[in-house]
Structure 1
Amino acid sequence: MPETTRGLEAALAEASSPSWTQRACAGHDLAPFADVPEAAEALLELLLDVEDTAVTRQTAEALARVGTVAAVRLIALAVAEADDNQADWLRTGVHDALVGPDGVPDMAAACEKLARDQEEAVRRGAAEISVWTDGAGC
C-alpha cells in the first residue's frame, strides 16, 4: 500500500476518535486530501465538530492553508451549516491561516470559482468568507 494511502487511512480513522486532539490532528492531516470524497466527508464533520471548537478552528486553518478550491469549498459548506459559535471558530481558523508566518495560497481564485458553484450553500459560505477576509485572500 502506498505511503500516501496509509496516511489517508490513518487520518480517516483519527477523524472519529473520542480524543479532540486526535480529531484536530486528523483535520490537519486530511486537509491536503480535500478533493478525495472520503476525506472531504470527514473534514466537513471535523469543521462542524460538536464536541470541541479547537477541532473546528484547527481544521479550518489547515484547509485555508491548503487553499485549493476543494479545501475552501469545504470551509464554505461548513460556514453555511454552522451555528453562530461554530462560525466564529471557522472564522478564527481562517484568520489564523491568513495572518500566520507562512501565509496562505491566494484564496481569491478559489472564492471566485465558488461564487459560481452549483450549490447555493457553497456560494453563500464563500460570500461569508469573503467578508471575513475583506480583501486578504477572498
Structure 2
Amino acid sequence: MPEKTSGWEAALTEASSPSWTRRVRAGRDLTAFADVPEAAEALVGLLLDVEDTAVTRQTAEALARAGKPAAVRLIALAVAEADDNQADWLRTGVQDALAEPDGVPDLAATCRNLARDPEEAVRRGAADIWAWADATGC
C-alpha cells in the first residue's frame, strides 16, 4: 500500500513543481512552517522564483500577512538577495498584505526587531520592508 504524504510534505514537493499555481499554493501552505528550516529554504526559493512573478508576489503576501518574525525574516532575506524586478514584486506582495482591512499591524515592530538581527542581510532586508510599510502609511 502506498504511503500517504502529509500536507507538509506535499507542500514541499509542490514548491518545486513546474506549475506556477502549485508553487503559489505551496507558498501559502508552507507559511505556517516558516520557522522550520526545510520550509524556510523552500519559501525563500519561492520568494525568489525566477519563472513567475505571481509566485514571488503571493508568497510575499502570505508571509507578510502571517506577520510572525520568522515569516518576515524570510521576506527580508529574499529582499537582500533579490534583483530589482524580484524586489518590486516582493514589495507589491507586502503592500498587498498591508492593504487588507486587517493589514499587518505588527509589521513595523517586527522590522524594528529584525533590524537587530545578527545576519546583515536580514537587517538590510528588514529596513527595506520597514520603508515599504512606512510609505504605505502602516
Q: Distance in 2 between matches of 1:78 and 1:105?
A: 21
Counterparts of 1:34-45 in structure 2, within 5 Å, are 34-45=34-45
Aligned to 2:125: 125
Q: Distance in 1 between matches of 2:105 and 2:36?
A: 20
Deviation at 1:109, TM superposition (A): 2.5
Aligned to 1:6: 6
Counterparts of 1:46-65 in structure 2, within 5 Å, are 46-65=46-65
Q: How many residues align?
A: 133
Q: CA RMSD in A?
A: 1.4
Q: Distance in 1 between matches of 2:59 and 2:101?
A: 18
Structure 1: tracts of 5 or more residues without a match: none
Aligned to 2:76: 76
**TM-score, length basis structure 1:** 0.92
**TM-score, length basis structure 2:** 0.92
Is the CA contact (8 Å cut-off) linking 2:108 and 2:133 kept in structure 1? no
Counterparts of 1:12-31 in structure 2, within 5 Å, are 12-31=12-31
Deviation at 1:113, TM superposition (A): 1.5
Deviation at 1:105, TM superposition (A): 4.3
> What is the identity, as a one-letter code, of the residue corresponding to 2:94?
V
Q: Deviations over 1:32-88 (max 9, x none)?
A: 110010000000000000000000000000000110110000000000000000000
| Structure 1 moving runs of 4+ over 6 Å | none
